[in-house]
Amino acid sequence: MKNSPAYKIRIRPETEQSRSEARASTASHKLKIKLNQSPVSIISPEAEPVVDIRMEESESKLTENSTSFPMMERPDINIEEIETIDFRPSRPSPFVKKKWTGHTFKPPKNIFRFGAVAGGAVAVGLLLGYVVLQTFTMEPTNPEEKVPAAIGQAKQTPQDKAAGQAAGAAASEQVKTNETANKPKTKPLTVTLPVVPLYLVQGGVFSTKAGAEQERTVFQQKGWPTHMEEDAGKHTLFLGVSASRDDALSLAEAYRASKQEVYIKEKSLPAGTVTLNIPEGMSADAAEEIKHLGQAQADLFQIVSQSIGDGFKGGKISQATLDKILTRHKEALKQGRSATEVLGEQQKALLQSALNEMTTAVTTLQQFAGQPNRTYLWQAEENMLRFISSYKRWQQAMTG
């Protein structure tokens, strides 16, 4: 029987292995399949078929009643090991985190040399820039050596300097002359400030400001008027003021009824005269109002303090007295409005403060006339204390 050619059998896996299985199989030991390669006797056709086959225990046995058949010459069978398929990519994935191998970064050997060269270059550049800047910004020591501001400007001689100074002085004088010509012409006006008699109700004298402030707080909690002044290191606390002694006594009796000891101190504001410059175009009526401003303020203070005394004594204010107060107050406001047009800023502010305090006192007396209550009288008395303080400072600013 003709021998068949030798051939090899390759075993292909039935199912494709997964990536994890492929890796596991690679890591494990490689399995080998061995086949019994014992020689098999070939029986001729004339002889009785005899089969001599040695097989492993794992192979199945031939059945006893199998039919004899002529055997062909079996070729040698060699089953080679089939390598498992590896699905790992040829290059590592960028998304896979690289494991730390324990090696740290080592700087190159010439990094210090490179840093020194770079630092030296920066230092040289800064030094060169500073030298160039100083060269162009340095001024000459001698003023005569300075570069002229404009190109082609000639050097100025002493004669030219003198002529320039003379021209400047002439221009300045011309400006002053023009200002004088444009300034409105004025005329003098004499204002007489009369004596203002004061009778102060004194609540106490203290050596320290803290003691006076403490007592002042007690009086304010009771609703009483307070005013503090400092003189020769002493702090005096006043509780009221009047233009006559009788009105001051009426106010003192109101305090003594509340078991508060007070004293009456007489102190008048001195008389004086003040010269003001008013415009020549001002009307005669306005000039006359300014002239009698001091007397109008003194008269208004006297009638208001008298009305407050009447309120403490009789518990009311007559309508005739209230009408008289309103008339005098209106005249005082008109005169003060005319005076503020010719006064300085400080004098104007002090006069305005005095007029505001007087206006508040008059308004409070109107409320007392409609509803008699001593609370209004205390409020009006405190406004009178502030009025005298502002009027005193205004008088000092006018005469000083």
pLDDT digits (tens, 9 = 90+) for 261-294: 999 999 898 988 888 888 888 888 888 888 888 8
Q: 0.95 exceeded by the pTM?
A: no
pLDDT of residue 4: 52
Residues 202 and 71 in one domain: no
Residues 85 and 208 in one domain: no
**Are the beta carbons of 187 and 280 closer than 8 angstroms?**
yes
Q: Tokens 């304010």 belong to which residue? A: 220
Q: How far apart are CA 337 and CA 331, in angstroms?
A: 10
Residue 171 domain-assigned?
no
Among the three residues 92, 108, 131, which one is the final residue of a domain in this structure? 92
Residues 198 and 80 in one domain: no
Among the three residues 92, 109, 143, which one is the final residue of a domain in this structure? 92
Residues 78 and 218 in one domain: no
CB contact burial 184-213 (16+ within 10 A = b; e otherwise)? eeeeebebebbebbbbbbebbebeeeeebe
Residues 52 and 197 in one domain: no
CB contact set of 269 (below 8 Å; sequence gap of 6+): 195, 196, 198, 388, 391, 392, 395
CB contact set of 13 (below 8 Å; sequence gap of 6+): 82
CA dihedral sign of residues 175, 180, 184, 188: positive
Residue 22 domain-assigned?
yes
CB contact set of 390 (below 8 Å; sequence gap of 6+): 350, 351, 353, 354, 357
Place 233 in a pLDDT band, splitting at 50, 70 and 90.
Answer: confident
Residue 47 domain-assigned?
yes
Domain count, the chain: 2
**Are the beta carbons of 365 and 376 closer than 8 angstroms?**
yes
Alpha-carbon distances of 168 from 143, 163, 165, 289, rounded to whole Å: 22, 9, 5, 45
pLDDT of residue 35: 53
Residues 205 and 88 in one domain: no
Residues 371 and 257 in one domain: yes
Residues 253 and 394 in one domain: yes
- Alpha helix segments (H runs only) across the chain: 19-27, 111-137, 158-182, 209-221, 245-257, 284-291, 293-314, 319-339, 345-370, 374-399
Among the three residues 92, 112, 141, which one is the final residue of a domain in this structure? 92
Residues 244 and 363 in one domain: yes
What tens digit of pLDDT does each residue of 128-169 get?
776 666 665 555 555 444 444 443 444 556 666 666 676 666
Residues 228 and 342 in one domain: yes
Q: How far apart are CA 71 and CA 134, in angstroms?
A: 116
Residue 177 domain-assigned?
no
Place 328 in a pLDDT band, splitting at 50, 70 and 90.
Answer: very high
CB contact set of 372 (below 8 Å; sequence gap of 6+): 311, 315, 316
Residue 60 domain-assigned?
yes
Nearest to 295 by CA among 192, 392, 393: 192
Which CATH number fits the domain that encloses residue 229? 1.20.1420
CB contact set of 387 (below 8 Å; sequence gap of 6+): 301, 354, 357, 358, 361
For 84, the domain range is: 1-92
Nearest to 197 by CA among 269, 116, 140: 269
Cα 370-323-293 angle, rounded to 5 deg: 125
Q: How far apart are CA 383 and CA 308, in angstroms?
A: 11
Q: Would you list the DSSP string of 67-129? A: PP-PPPPPPPEEEPPPPPPP---SS--TTSPPPP-SPPP---TTHHHHHHHHHHHHHHHHHHH
Residue 186 domain-assigned?
no
Residue 139 domain-assigned?
no
Residue 376 domain-assigned?
yes
Nearest to 244 by CA among 318, 330, 323, 304: 304
Residues 220 and 351 in one domain: yes
pLDDT of residue 149: 44
pLDDT of residue 53: 43
Q: How far apart are CA 388 and CA 350, in angstroms?
A: 11
Q: How far apart are CA 396 and CA 390, in angstroms?
A: 10
What tens digit of pLDDT does each residue of 166-216 get?
666 666 666 565 555 556 688 888 888 899 999 999 999 999 999 999 999
pLDDT higher for 88 or 131?
131
